[in-house]
């Protein structure tokens, strides 16, 4: 039997085509996230919902979606979803891991180079007509090669980022919940404490999910431990960094610069952040390539279509829901 599926925002067409072929489909075409009240109305009577990281999917939403079997999140991160509440109500949740790993790592590198070599800053300068000829002291940045890079979170994205560091002959340090032998084998990275990593790294890149224990992982105390020449890159989730403390650290020269794709209160920026020259700021685009956004869509869609067939979706985050139904 045909499922009734709701998609909370427009995503690449191949994914919508996949769903439309097998389901009754409605898509939010407003081009922006739905207000909560509309979302609560729209999920009613749906068998499945394809949602985004800008949708707060909580118990209230699950209650409204009383017929839903699955919410497929169009993201690898799922801090926007209350998974225990979904499990309680017997709703499966899926994400889109794997396909955006290298794409996200590439943006982290783009940010790192932009800050180290002052690319965004000198682009503005050049456009403004300020360039009056080659200058020996014009926009002096920092070398990347042969420096020490510290990776917080040696998961898939952290590993992909680290592999690329090898090409620049960098020394690789990493920290996380536990040493990761595969990471060490593939990158030669050395496991250290967070303190050690902050003290020794020229570049620090964050690749951890947002969890209670990673909230404000980097704050005032941590900035003080970092080198004055250090650059912080964050392509994970904004609240992992205390953004007000970051602005202060950048203003006072506690660290040298930062490249950010995510913000503590996004889409809002912390006061003072956008006035700084030593930052490159992107609007949460780490997975935003044509190839990857298409794959994320088809993965989310196939999780829904697999659930429709009565099978366990490949990227189900709470498979115990499926098992308990299956066992009955």
Residues annotated as part of the active site: 237, 266, 284
239 touches ligand GLV by CB under 6 A: no
Nearer to ligand GLV, 77 or 150 (CB): 77
157 touches ligand GLV by CB under 6 A: yes
Of 11, 50, 76, 197, which one interacts with ligand GLV (CB under 6 A)? 76
Return the residues of window 279-318 that contact ligand GLV according to CB under 6 A: 287
Task: State both tokens at 92.
Answer: 């499966």
Of 150, 155, 239, 257, which one interacts with ligand GLV (CB under 6 A)? 155
Give start and end residues of each alpha helix (H) in the chain. 13-22, 36-42, 59-64, 83-88, 101-116, 119-127, 156-166, 181-187, 194-200, 220-225, 243-251, 290-308, 319-327
Instruction: Give SS3 for 60.
Output: helix
Nearer to ligand GLV, 33 or 97 (CB): 97
Whole-angstrom Cα distance, residue 161 to residue 151? 8
Return the residues of window 204-223 that contact ligand GLV according to CB under 6 A: 207
Whole-angstrom Cα distance, residue 247 to residue 325? 49
Of 8, 94, 101, 175, which one interacts with ligand GLV (CB under 6 A)? 101
39 touches ligand GLV by CB under 6 A: no
Instruction: Supply the minimum distance, in Å, between the C-beta of residue 294 and ligand GLV.
Output: 14
Of 156, 164, 166, 227, which one interacts with ligand GLV (CB under 6 A)? 156
Instruction: Supply the minimum distance, in Å, between the C-beta of residue 158 and ligand GLV.
Output: 6
Instruction: Supply the minimum distance, in Å, between the C-beta of residue 172 and ligand GLV.
Output: 16
Return the residues of window 105-124 that contact ligand GLV according to CB under 6 A: none
Stretch that binds ligand GLV, among 38-46, 69-77, 83-91, 137-145 (CB under 6 A): 69-77
Q: Residues 42, 7: contact at Cβ < 8 Å?
A: no
Task: State both tokens at 256.
Answer: 């040298």
Residue found under tokens 């685009």: 285
- φ, ψ (nearest 5 deg) of residue 219: -140, -160
Own/partner long-range contacts of 173-182 (Cβ < 8 Å, ≥24 apart)? 173/148, 173/149, 173/197, 173/200, 173/201, 174/150, 175/150, 175/151, 176/152, 176/208, 180/154
100 touches ligand GLV by CB under 6 A: yes
Nearer to ligand GLV, 76 or 86 (CB): 76
Of 39, 47, 77, 230, which one interacts with ligand GLV (CB under 6 A)? 77
Of 3, 87, 97, 238, which one interacts with ligand GLV (CB under 6 A)? 97
Task: State both tokens at 138.
Answer: 């014009």
Whole-angstrom Cα distance, residue 237 to residue 8? 21
Contact set with ligand GLV (CB under 6 A): 53, 75-77, 97, 100-101, 155-158, 207, 287
């Amino acid at each position: 039997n045909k499922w009734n599926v709701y998609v909370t925002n427009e995503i690449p067409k191949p994914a919508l085509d996949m769903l439309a072929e097998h389901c009754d489909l409605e898509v939010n075409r407003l081009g922006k996230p739905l207000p909560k009240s509309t979302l609560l109305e729209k999920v009613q009577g749906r068998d499945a919902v394809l949602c985004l990281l800008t949708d707060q999917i909580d118990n209230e939403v699950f209650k409204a979606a009383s017929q839903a079997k699955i919410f497929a999140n169009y993201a690898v991160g799922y801090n926007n979803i209350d998974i225990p509440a979904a499990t309680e109500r017997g709703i499966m949740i899926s994400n889109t891991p794997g396909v955006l790993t290298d794409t996200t790592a590439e943006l982290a590198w783009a940010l790192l180079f932009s800050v180290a070599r002052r690319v965004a800053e000198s682009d503005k300068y050049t456009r403004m007509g300020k360039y009056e000829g080659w200058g020996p002291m014009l926009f002096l940045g920092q070398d990347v090669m042969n420096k020490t890079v510290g990776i917080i979170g040696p998961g898939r994205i952290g590993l992909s980022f680290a592999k690329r560091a090898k090409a620049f002959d960098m020394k690789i340090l990493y920290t996380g919940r536990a040493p990761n032998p595969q990471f060490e084998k593939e990158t030669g990275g050395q496991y250290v404490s967070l303190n050690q990593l902050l003290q020794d790294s020229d570049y620090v890149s964050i690749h951890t999910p947002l969890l209670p224990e990673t909230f404000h992982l980097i704050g005032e105390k941590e900035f003080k431990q970092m080198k004055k020449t250090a650059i912080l890159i964050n392509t994970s989730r904004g609240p992992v960094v205390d953004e007000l403390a970051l602005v202060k650290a950048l203003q006072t020269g506690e660290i040298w610069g930062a490249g950010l794709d995510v913000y503590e209160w996004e889409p809002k920026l912390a006061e003072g952040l956008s006035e700084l020259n030593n930052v490159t700021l992107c609007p949460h685009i780490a997975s935003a390539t044509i190839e990857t956004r298409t794959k994320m869509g088809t993965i989310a869609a196939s999780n829904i279509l697999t659930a429709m067939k009565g099978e366990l979706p490949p990227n189900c985050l709470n498979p115990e829901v499926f098992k308990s139904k299956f066992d009955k």
